[in-house]
Structure 1
Amino acid sequence: MARMSVLLAAPALVGAALAPASAFAVNYLTVEQAGKLLFAEADRFEQRYWQLDAEQLQKLAASGVKPRSARWTLRLAWRGKELLGVLVADEVIGKFELISYAVGVGADGVLKGVEILAYRESHGSEIRLPAWRKQFVGKTAAAPIKLGDDIANISGATLSCGHVTEGVKRIVQVIELARRSAVLA
């Protein structure tokens, strides 16, 4: 009987050992909480859906950004009738799991900050540290926003750093297209 229990348990143990561990998942912030951190002076957020057309997708690709999606959800931050900026939430793959993050860009096109909403990998959560995220503040669509160029890597978190950096660049470029298209008016 004891031998039978071991034989039945063995496949479950092997399967558990081979599966990527997502037991490290931590939800840090909601999109709403990130919006309040990045646009503390905002009195309301207005959600808008925006579909990029073929020409805009080509411009995005020409700027060195892989256009992952044509449809975007923009959260406009307002103080009264003044547009403060735009918040965009997105997800990128880390090594095995998704990293949820939000990017705030001012109405002037200047990046206000990046917040990590959820991190699900077993390593690399250092991307949530303020010192790493602070590197993005002040960047615009004209900045390289490239790992190893103007954004430093974190040893042991190379994929997470690289993918979040690419995602932030994509969002900054998308918001710049929205600014030029009068979508934010």
Structure 2
Amino acid sequence: MRLTLAAVSAAALAPASAFAVDYMSAEQAAKLMFPDADRFESRDVVLDATQMQKLAAQGVQARSAKWTIKVAHHGTTVLGTVVVDDVVGKFELITYAVGLAADGTVKQVEILSYRESHGQEIRLPAWRRQFVGKTVASPIQVGEDIANISGATLSCKHVTDGIKRIVSIVDLARRSGALG
């Protein structure tokens, strides 16, 4: 009887992350975004204080000075970049990947892991397609050029803010020559 009571207690105390679903790995997402790539090269981009201030002036919080960016290659041609990031939905982390074409435009967004009990609608292709073609000059803001999903408001906002951050950081890295 004690074991049963312990099992019931553990189930009652289980965190919301019991709803966690891993949809694909970062490697699978990169290959999906750049199927013609014959290799992916990881590059660490470290933002200096001036770059961090520039981002902040644009309303973008870098969150970290160091970012790992995967550069997709086909032979000697750079096809684009992939950045994997985590943001907090309401309580739990959402892991997503952003693929950017060589010119810095958003090519594709994939949700890799979703751990919240509600709001999985951000995985819907129609919602993720809103980001395709966006650039550093785009607002990339819920309510502006990105639609909100009722019941997934925080997930929508935080993933959108994260994508804006990635687009901005990759743009800085491209302009500084850090991506080749």
With the length of structure 1 as denominator, give the TM-score of the two structures.
Answer: 0.91
Report the equivalent of 2:16.
21
What whole-Å deviation, never above 9, does each CA across 1:99-138 have from its counterpart, x for those lacking one?
0000011111111011000000110011011010000000
SS at match of 2:165: helix
What whole-Å deviation, never above 9, does each CA across 1:130-173 have from its counterpart, x for those lacking one?
01000000000000000111000111000101100000000000
Is 1:117–2:112 an aligned residue pair? Answer: yes
Structure 2: distance between partners of 1:139 and 1:50 = 21
With the length of structure 2 as denominator, give the TM-score of the two structures.
Answer: 0.94
Report the equivalent of 1:148.
143
Quick one: which of 149, 171, 176 aligns to 2:171? Answer: 176
Aligned pairs for 1:18-167 (under 5 A) are 20-167=15-162
Structure 1: distance between partners of 2:12 and 2:174 = 48
Letter in 2 for 1:44: R
What whole-Å deviation, never above 9, does each CA across 1:35-92 have from its counterpart, x for those lacking one?
0111111111000111100111011111110120000001000011011111000000
- Deviation of the 1:18 alpha carbon: 5.8
Q: Is the 8 A contact 2:62 2:169 kept in 1?
A: no
SS at match of 2:139: coil
Letter in 1 for 2:41: E
SS at match of 2:158: helix
Structure 2: distance between partners of 1:57 and 1:44 = 30
Q: Is the 8 A contact 2:106 2:132 kept in 1?
A: yes
Runs of 4+ in 1 over 2 A off after TM superposition: 15-20
* % identity of equivalent residues: 65
Q: Is the 8 A contact 1:20 1:96 kept in 2?
A: no
- Deviation of the 1:20 alpha carbon: 3.5
Q: Is the 8 A contact 1:88 1:171 kept in 2?
A: yes
Instruction: Give structure 2 stretches of 5+ with no counterpart.
Output: none
SS at match of 1:23: helix
Structure 2: distance between partners of 1:41 and 1:63 = 34
Instruction: Give structure 1 stretches of 5+ with no counterpart.
Output: none
**Larger radius of gyration between Structure 1 and Structure 2:** 1
- Give the superposed CA RMSD: 1.9
SS at match of 2:133: coil
SS at match of 2:95: strand
